[in-house]
Structure 1
Amino acid sequence: MPANKIKLEICGSNYVIATTDTEEYVLSLAEKLDSDMTQMLASNPTASVTTAAVITALGYLDELKKSTSGADNMRAQIKDYLEDAAKAKLAAEEARREVERLRREIGYLKEKK
């Protein structure tokens, strides 16, 4: 897939990036970044655009790390649940075989009478 060149404006500066993502997706990311940085600059009038970018990036990395950690925990729980389900299925199959064996034994004992 060829790269798309997309023009972005973030905090008054223009950027052109090459990406294989859709223009709509990249523009939505740029809008979010611009909004977050603008909000940070508005709440901290002495901050520079660079400072706003770094603090915003740290916030995004924090969200990413927490989301990744949460997803990893969910995967581990799902794996445990699947293992438990497999064990339960095996135990149920063993119980079904034992019930069948006991039915055959009962049938055999009834025939002997």
Structure 2
Amino acid sequence: MNKVKITICGIDYVIAGNEDEEYVLNLARKLDAELKKIMAQNPRISVMTAAVLAALDHLDESVKAQESTDNMRLQIKDYLEDAAKARIECEEQKREIERLKREIASLKTRLDIQ
């Protein structure tokens, strides 16, 4: 377990987790910049309010990304089902072609005999 010291809006935190230190520091820098941007747009809001707004924004993005992922999974499932059906139809058509070839050969043999 890694412990990483980060600073967000002038407040130090120690984060414990399994993620790489540089990854956590990068997240902290992005969050710090985002909170400062929100607070610069409206100087009267607190760090807490900015954090809530940022959290809501990220949660919104996360939910939309999950919905998009679920939609893609359904589309892929449909494509796979269509591909399986097409493969089955192709095999049926190949069998029909082989049957017709045998029938043609049989008819040619009959014509040659007569």
1:70-81 → structure 2 map (5 Å cutoff) = 70-81=68-79
Identify which of 47, 50, 60 aligns with 1:49. Answer: 47
1:67-106 → structure 2 map (5 Å cutoff) = 67-106=65-104
| Number of the residue aligned with 2:109 | 111
| Number of the residue aligned with 1:32 | 30
SS in structure 2 opposite 1:53?
Answer: helix
Whose radius of gyration is greater, 1 or 2? 2
Structure 1 length-normalised TM: 0.96
* Cα deviation, residue 108, structure 1: 1.0
Identify which of 4, 10, 13 aligns with 2:8. Answer: 10
* Structure 2 portions without partners, runs of 5+: none
The amino acid across from 1:82 in the alignment is L
* Cα deviation, residue 64, structure 1: 0.5
Deviations 1:81-109 (A, max 9, x none): 11101100110110000000110111011
Flag as ranges the 4+ runs of structure 1 deviating above 6 A.
none
Distance in 2 of aligned mates of 1:84 and 1:60 = 36
* Structure 1 portions without partners, runs of 5+: none
Sequence identity of aligned pairs in percent?
Answer: 57
Count of matched residue positions in the alignment of Structure 1 and Structure 2 = 111
Distance in 2 of aligned mates of 1:102 and 1:41 = 77
Distance in 1 of aligned mates of 2:106 and 2:22 = 74
| Number of the residue aligned with 2:21 | 23
Aligned residues: CA RMSD: 0.7
Structure 2 length-normalised TM: 0.95
